[in-house]
Amino acid sequence: MTIYDIAREAKVSPSTVSRVISGNAKVKPEKEELIRSIMARNNFRPNAIAQSLIGGQSKTIGLLVADIRNPFYAALSLECEIAAKRANYRVMLCNAFNDDSIEDDSLDMFAEHRADAIIQIGCRVDDLVGDPAYAAHINSLAIPFVSTGKLDGCNMYTYGIDNAACIDIAFEHLRELGHKRIALSGGRLSVRSTYEKWTRYIYLHGKYGIPINTNYVQESHYDFNGGVECMNRLLALPERPTAVIAISDHCAVGVLSAAHKVGLSVPGDISLISHDNTFLTEITAPRLTGIDYDYKKLGGGLVSTAIALINKKEPPREAFITPTLNVKDSCAKIYETDV
């Protein structure tokens, strides 16, 4: 069923049918009525593929995430989908699994499907020391490219999170509660967002004249086991920290589990601040205080930056949303006598 079939039945030309569909030209009301009724009766739906071909726009945004099973990516990709839909764009989602070849293939696939823009969240695009070949690959696509991260040598736009502010907020909250021995669990330093958090952590120690215990910053995976291992290392220290900032909720649950395993109470013995504010923070005991993002704003910002680029507008090269603190039950006041 095509516009030609509709046209024949309505005794008009395909052009007229097209005008009814697109709505960007006047058609005599009675004819429009007739055409619409024929379309409805035949269950006709215009072929979006043909529309894309002639229009030169696929109305599709390629969305590449590291792993949709990670609640952070799930929440964010969801908001991207909603924002895209509102702007009459579709999302084509791919998981990269931190596998370089899948990542490359997905980008090529987006290019072949003529995605109007690409949004990438996670993966190599936030490497502190980027792979030049990867940046070159992205550039070669010649498709507007937006990410929460930033890759050197890559023609791209960033709409992300103010990472330093995350640590500012967490640190300040703990400081107000009297904590001075604050640990960071930790993430991988090779990731830019993590690097920015670490440097801010160090900066804040200087600012407040708190001596840095380098053992308090522990590299870890972003998942449950990363948190467990990290916490175990912290617990083995002669003087253990009184508070831990975890790099993700997943990680925080691991920290919590390791603390519980040795009989420590959170927040009684150790306070814990998390990142991402996914549903995980609601299902632990205690519920986790943590850094929260406005996911709607973040997803919306990524999409609107992408769409601005599609429309040849010039959005800011970089924009960052400010995180907030979502206070729940995992932090407590401390009265240190020995400092």
Residues in contact with a second copy by CB under 8 A are: 43, 45-50, 52-53, 58, 67-69, 71, 74-75, 77-78, 81, 90-95, 108-109, 111-114, 140, 142, 224, 250, 253-254, 257, 260-261, 279-280, 282-283, 285
Nearer to DNA, 115 or 154 (CB): 115
As measured in angstroms, the least distance from the Cβ of 74 to a second copy is: 4
Question: Which one of residues 54, 129, 142, 236 is an interface residue with DNA (CB under 7 A)?
Answer: 54
Nearer to DNA, 19 or 197 (CB): 19
Nearer to a second copy, 69 or 317 (CB): 69
Which of the listed partners (a second copy, DNA, none) does 2 bind, with a CB threshold of 5 to 8 Å by partner kind? DNA
To 10 degrees, what angle do helices 224-235 and 249-261 make? 40
As measured in angstroms, the least distance from the Cβ of 130 to a second copy is: 20
As measured in angstroms, the least distance from the Cβ of 64 to DNA is: 22
Instruction: Give the Cα separation of 92 and 95 in Å (integer).
Output: 10
As measured in angstroms, the least distance from the Cβ of 5 to a second copy is: 15
| Residue among 52, 76, 112, 53 at smallest CA distance from 303 | 76
Structure tokens at 71: 């609640």
Sites for DNA among residues 182-241 (CB under 7 A): none
Nearer to DNA, 113 or 317 (CB): 113
Q: Does 155 bind DNA (CB under 7 A)?
A: no
As measured in angstroms, the least distance from the Cβ of 2 to DNA is: 3
Instruction: Give the Cα separation of 263 and 77 in Å (integer).
Output: 38
Cβ atoms of residues 285 and 292 within 8 Å:
no
Q: Does 153 bind DNA (CB under 7 A)?
A: no
Nearer to a second copy, 119 or 217 (CB): 119
Binding range to DNA, per CB under 7 A, among 6-14, 76-84, 115-123, 224-232: 6-14
Cβ atoms of residues 287 and 329 within 8 Å:
yes
Size of the site for DNA (CB under 7 A): 29
Instruction: Give the Cα separation of 103 and 95 in Å (integer).
Output: 8
Which of the listed partners (DNA, a second copy, none) does 137 bind, with a CB threshold of 5 to 8 Å by partner kind? none
Which of the listed partners (DNA, a second copy, none) does 91 bind, with a CB threshold of 5 to 8 Å by partner kind? a second copy
The 3-state secondary structure of the chain, one letter per residue: CCHHHHHHHHCCCHHHHHHHHHCCCCCCHHHHHHHHHHHHHCCCCCCHHHHHHHHCCCCEEEEEECCCCCHHHHHHHHHHHHHHHHCCCEEEEEECCCCHHHHHHHHHHHHHCCCCEEEEECHHHHECCCCHHHHHHHHHHCCCEEECCCCCCCCCEEEEECHHHHHHHHHHHHHHCCCCCEEEECCCCCEHHHHHHHHHHHHHHHHHCCCCCHHHEECCCCCHHHHHHHHHHHHCCCCCCCEEEECCHHHHHHHHHHHHHCCCCCCCCCEEEEECCCCHHHHCCCCCEEEECCHHHHHHHHHHHHHHHHCCCCCCCEEEECCEEECCCCCCCCCCCCC
Binding mask 14-53 for DNA (x = CB under 7 A): xxxxxx-xx-xxxxx--x--------------xx--xx-x
Q: Does 55 bind DNA (CB under 7 A)?
A: yes
Nearer to DNA, 23 or 263 (CB): 23
Q: Does 12 bind DNA (CB under 7 A)?
A: yes
As measured in angstroms, the least distance from the Cβ of 33 to DNA is: 11
Nearer to DNA, 17 or 119 (CB): 17
Q: What are the residues binding DNA (CB under 7 A)?
A: 1-4, 11-19, 21-22, 24-28, 31, 46-47, 50-51, 53-56
